[in-house]
Amino acid sequence: MILYLHGVPNPRQREFFLARARHTAYGGARGGGKSWAMRRKLTLLALNYPGLNILLLRRTLPELRENHILPLQRELYGFAPYNAAERVFNFPNGSRIKLGYCDTSSDVYQYQGQEYAVIGMEEATHFTEEQQQFLSTCNRTSKPGFTPRMYYTCNPGNVGHAWVKRLFIDREYQNDERPEDYAFIPARIWDNKALLAADPGYVRQLMTLPEDLRRAHLEGDWDVHAGQYFREFSRDRHVLPPYEIPAWHRRFRSMDWGYNDPCCVLWHAVDPEGRVVTYRELYVRQMRAEEVAKRVMELSRGEDIAYTVASPDLWQSRGQTLRAQGGFEGETLAEIFTKSGMPVSPADNSRVAGWQRVRDYLSPAADGEPRWRCFSDCVNLIRQLPGLRYDQRDREDAADGDDHAPEALRYGLMSRPEAPRMKEKPRRAAFDPLDLNAKTGGGYLTV
């Protein structure tokens, strides 16, 4: 049976069809033909490998319906019947394409224990890094001869901008990530002749967007990030190679607690002028409170830590959840930390004022130097801070996302006084040869 492709792939789409890396992203400009290519790629895989289990995801259900369920129903009509209750297209050879979404952070857990040989993530930058990492654990197969793969389509911007950029554009890898597993295919609207012919006004529409959005959506530029919350963050100004912190500098810690979500602990030191440097981070998942306390105490050995501030939710008693994390009903996590040798105080959780405090510390003081910096090995903080976005409902606040390290920083800086005012650096008087000439009786200038 011949499947009608409804078009001929352009060269970039062909590259995407041929990609076999463990993770392949096709991204950049709007309208390049990414979603078209994703639907066909998954269909071709389903046809080519009988019995293949495939998952296609969008962040929300309405987006999924508009962008994939309806087009796939048209494209696969009479060929792979759609089971609406299960949201699955069933192919005659036993392959299936399941359509899913991950609206809230806990929606990913519905895929726990499932096995998908191929996962397609549409608009990958709408997903948080935690969601992507969790979904990767479902990307596996017992089918001999087939290596599991994930395909991503994306535009710059949104909550997942930072992790997509790190993996596919900056190619900065950590832990057991292997560079050869990641491939990127740039999308450009100019490649999509079908759209340019059908709707020549679309490019004009993209050209009239505000500067940031135009660069991101028309040119596929990953260095601008529309909606970025902390534009003042810069690796050059705020990130330092680790150095020995003088023992007399005051030290403290801050923690954003999480069990299913990550838990982030930061260590800070304050210099005599009041500048703060974050010199260590611990970033863990699914680690019980006692174990976190133990790790923190080990890492802090020999250091004089004045105090630790932590997310106020540690003071709620959580019954069953708490029992699963090693405590007793009625006991708070704060008590567990204290019992384990790491006393904690509740952090000031005023969000908008807290983010403003972070902004003040990031901005340069009168002497031109920022009031806060961090060591280059605080990798999660360095990735998440520039990745924070404005909340669309509250333009003063940052949106929820991969924000556990920035939250810990916010708690930490809220325990400090407002950003310290530094004296302006004494400027060296400009050399004035005429003045010098006058003072020395004209002996200097001979012309």
For binding to ligand ATP (CB under 6 A), which residues are involved? 7-10, 13, 30-36, 155, 187, 192, 194-195
CB contact at 8 A, 126 and 102: no
CB of 99 to Mg ion, least distance (A): 15
Query: Residue 376, CB half-sphere, CA atoms under 13 Å: how many?
Result: 7
Question: Is the Cβ of residue 13 or residue 380 nearer to ligand ATP in the bound state?
Answer: 13
Question: Is the Cβ of residue 67 or residue 136 nearer to ligand ATP in the bound state?
Answer: 67
User: Read out DSSP for 227-281?
Assistant: TBS-TT--HHHHEE---PPPTTSEEEEEEE--SSS-EEEEEEEE-TTS-EEEEEE
Question: Is the Cβ of residue 118 or residue 269 nearer to Mg ion in the bound state?
Answer: 118
Task: For residue 412, give the nearest of 266, 264, 240 by alpha carbon.
Answer: 266
Question: Is the Cβ of residue 34 or residue 41 nearer to Mg ion in the bound state?
Answer: 34
Say which entry of Mg ion, ligand ATP, none residue 194 contacts (CB below 5 to 8 A, set by partner kind): ligand ATP
CB of 31 to ligand ATP, least distance (A): 5
Say which entry of ligand ATP, Mg ion, none residue 128 contacts (CB below 5 to 8 A, set by partner kind): none
CB of 194 to ligand ATP, least distance (A): 3
- Distance, in Å, from the CA atom of 143 to the CA atom of 156, rounded to the nearest integer, reads 34
CB of 428 to ligand ATP, least distance (A): 53
Report which residue's Cβ sits closest to ligand ATP: 7
Question: Is the Cβ of residue 10 or residue 53 nearer to Mg ion in the bound state?
Answer: 10
Task: For residue 150, give the nearest of 159, 139, 162 by alpha carbon.
Answer: 139
Say which entry of Mg ion, ligand ATP, none residue 305 contacts (CB below 5 to 8 A, set by partner kind): none
CB of 35 to Mg ion, least distance (A): 3
List of residues 6+ apart from 352 with CB closer than 8 A: 394, 396, 397
Say which entry of Mg ion, ligand ATP, none residue 224 contacts (CB below 5 to 8 A, set by partner kind): none
Q: What is the largest CA-CA distance in the chain?
A: 101
CB of 196 to ligand ATP, least distance (A): 9
Question: Is the Cβ of residue 35 or residue 139 nearer to ligand ATP in the bound state?
Answer: 35
CB of 92 to ligand ATP, least distance (A): 25
**Would you tell me which residues interact with Mg ion (CB under 5 A)?**
34-35
- Distance, in Å, from the CA atom of 406 to the CA atom of 412, rounded to the nearest integer, reads 10
Report which residue's Cβ sits closest to Mg ion: 35
CB of 207 to ligand ATP, least distance (A): 15
Question: Is the Cβ of residue 70 or residue 436 nearer to ligand ATP in the bound state?
Answer: 70
CB of 67 to Mg ion, least distance (A): 6
CB contact at 8 A, 156 and 222: yes
The two three-digit tokens of residue 155, written as one number: 């535009």
Say which entry of Mg ion, ligand ATP, none residue 32 contacts (CB below 5 to 8 A, set by partner kind): ligand ATP
Question: Is the Cβ of residue 13 or residue 139 nearer to ligand ATP in the bound state?
Answer: 13
CB of 37 to ligand ATP, least distance (A): 7
Q: Which helix (H) or strand (E) holds 309?
A: strand 305-310
Question: Is the Cβ of residue 154 or residue 167 nearer to ligand ATP in the bound state?
Answer: 154
- Distance, in Å, from the CA atom of 23 to the CA atom of 181, rounded to the nearest integer, reads 6
List of residues 6+ apart from 406 with CB closer than 8 A: 358, 381, 384, 385, 388, 398
* Residue 445: exposure state from Cβ atoms within 10 A (0-12, 13-18, ≥19): exposed
Type of residue at 190: W
CB contact at 8 A, 296 and 282: yes
Task: For residue 191, give the nearest of 331, 75, 305, 28 by alpha carbon.
Answer: 28
Question: Is the Cβ of residue 35 or residue 380 nearer to Mg ion in the bound state?
Answer: 35
The two three-digit tokens of residue 250, written as one number: 């005051």
- 3-state helix, strand, coil split of the chain in percent (to 5) is 35, 20, 45
Say which entry of Mg ion, ligand ATP, none residue 135 contacts (CB below 5 to 8 A, set by partner kind): none
